[in-house]
Structure 1
Amino acid sequence: MPNRYRSFAAIAALLGWLALALQLLLSIQLTIANGQGALTGVWIYLGYFTILTNVLAALALTAAASGPHGAVSRFFTRPDVHSAIAMSIVIVAAIYNLMLRQLWQPHGWQIVADNTLHVVMPALFLLYWWLAVPKATLRWPQVIIWQLYPAAYFASALIRGAITHWYPYPFLDVGSLGYLRVLINACVVLLVFVVVALLLVALGRWQVRRSGKTVALPTQP
């Protein structure tokens, strides 16, 4: 990544980690107030796709800011990994703002955490992806591999729900909708993931072609 974007990545990473820490604190406070204990707050916190995806985004931005110094940081600086995270965090923003925002009214610091995780971080990560991530190695078949993450999350959400009878999102609530409806909902959402991934690859390849044409332009005398 060009050095001029490392400060951007560092600031975005710091904001992401602060928002995640704030949301964790709020989750623990809520479960303690409800008499469920701190560990329940952590358990519920880790059950949200929003949280997991923002953790991945913060890790990728941190690796980009510090440089690839080990196997983990090299993994998180790979263009395909950045693109997969971009796909997921776009879905985080879209589903929350289009489907879930109207279902509750957060107050106080929860407003800050919600908007940072669902609006600010998706926008910053997508901007970083556009400006700083090299895209010449992006290929169409990678789109299929990127779906392993949301598919694994869906499976884990159902397993957790079967054990605890708690589901993180209304469209995954087997208790209210039944397994067939939840499976249909998951397939629809997965299709949206695929569409967003294809769009990102298309944009990346267009950006590479456009950059190549710009470099190939003859200099003016």
Structure 2
Amino acid sequence: MTSTSAARLWHTVTALAAAAGLGTQLVLVVTGASVLVEDRPPGLAARLLHFVSYFTVLSNLLVLLTTAAAARRPTVDGRLWRVLRLDAVVGITVTGLVHWFFLRPLLQLTGWPYVTDKVLHVVVPLLAVVGWLLVGPRPRITLRVVLLGLIYPVGWLVYTLVIGAATGWYPYPFIDVGARGGAAVAVTSVALALLILAFSVLAWLADRRWPPTPRDLPTGRP
């Protein structure tokens, strides 16, 4: 199997896993199945708004979009794609780590909610990160891409805090101002921003130092 065909296969599997996880989760949301415990389950419109407000969902969606493009053309490139690809890899990395160390102990899931949770928080992060390491495409990251990539996570955080202040609903307990207080959430927010920046810089350095891939087609330095 050539480097390009291996990359195409890996990206295809990753995109399908993300699509399956997101699709199943959407069905659970529409049918009213609860993933996170809520004392008063909201109506459909609110559930859909909550669905698209989770960093997990958005990061999986970015993985789906960028790996689907890479599956079609393993050497895919473009200014916007580079930013979205970095956001996908860094975002899904943070998603997996935060879930595993902080959120997983809080969840008591069974059946399809359990399966979907594992796909979105474990399977897709592993496929996306390992795929980026092994099949790229690389090189694609510059300092400008790193800086532009911060727009997504910072924008999500601002959006989440604004929606939370207006409705009282927060997607994750560690940014719940009502429960933890503004000072604690501010510290957490800064820590998250620094974590995302650190992973973005590490990805930039790795992208510069590691061999270009796929190897059997020209990639060109950015």
**TM-score above 0.5, yes or no:** yes
**Aligned pairs for 1:1-221 within 5 A:** 2-30=4-32, 36-67=42-73, 75=78, 78-208=81-211
Amino acid at match of 1:55: L
CA deviations on 1:95-129 (whole Å, 9 max, x unpaired) are: 01011100121111111111100110011111221
Which entry has the higher C-alpha Rg, 1 or 2? Answer: 1
Q: Using a 3 Å threshold, how does the CA distance of structure 1 residues 28 and 15 change in structure 2: closer, same or farther?
A: same
**Residues in 2 aligned to 1:81 and 1:154: alpha-carbon distance in whole angstroms:** 17
CA shift in 2, pair 1:114/1:35, >3 Å: closer
Classify 1:39/1:128 alpha carbon distance in 2 versus 1 (closer, same or farther; 3 Å).
Answer: same
Q: Calculate the TM-score normalised by the size of structure 2.
A: 0.83
Which structure carries more helix by proportion? 1
- Give, in angstroms, the shift of residue 47 of structure 1: 1.3
After superposition, give the CA deviation of every residue in 1:72-92 in whole Å (9 maximum; x if it has no partner): x86598444322311111000
Tell me the amino acid that sits aligned with residue 49 of structure 1: F
Read off the aligned partner of 2:51 and give its amino acid letter: Y
Conserved in 2, the CA contact under 8 Å of 1:31 and 1:40? Answer: no
Equivalent residue pairs, number: 208
Q: Which runs of 5+ in 2 are unaligned?
A: 216-222
Task: Quote the residue 1:217 is aligned against.
Answer: none
Which 4+ runs in 1 deviate beyond 4 A? 31-35, 73-77
Note the residue ranges of structure 1 that are not aligned, 5 or more in a row: 213-221
Secondary structure of the corresponding residue to residue 208 of structure 1: coil
CA distance in 2, matches of 1:6, 1:165: 43
> What amino acid does structure 1 have at the position aligned with 2:68?
T
Among the aligned pairs, what percent are the same residue?
Answer: 28
Q: TM-score, normalised by structure 1?
A: 0.83
Q: Note closer, same or farther for the CA distance 1:118–1:31 as it changes in structure 2 (3 Å cut).
A: closer
Query: Residues of 1 paired with 2:41 and 2:88: CA distance?
Result: 35
Matches of 1:144 and 1:66 in 2, distance apart?
Answer: 27
Q: In the superposition, relative to structure 1, how do residues 179 and 35 fare at CA in structure 2: closer, same or farther (>3 Å)?
A: closer
Give the corresponding residue for 1:216: none
Report the secondary structure of 1:92's partner residue: helix
Question: Match for 2:73: what amino acid?
Answer: G
Deviation at 1:35, TM superposition (A): 6.0
Conserved 8 A contact 1:6-1:65: yes
Cα contact 1:63–1:74 (8 A) shared by 2:
no
Distance 1:35 1:82 in 2: 34
Amino acid at match of 2:137: P
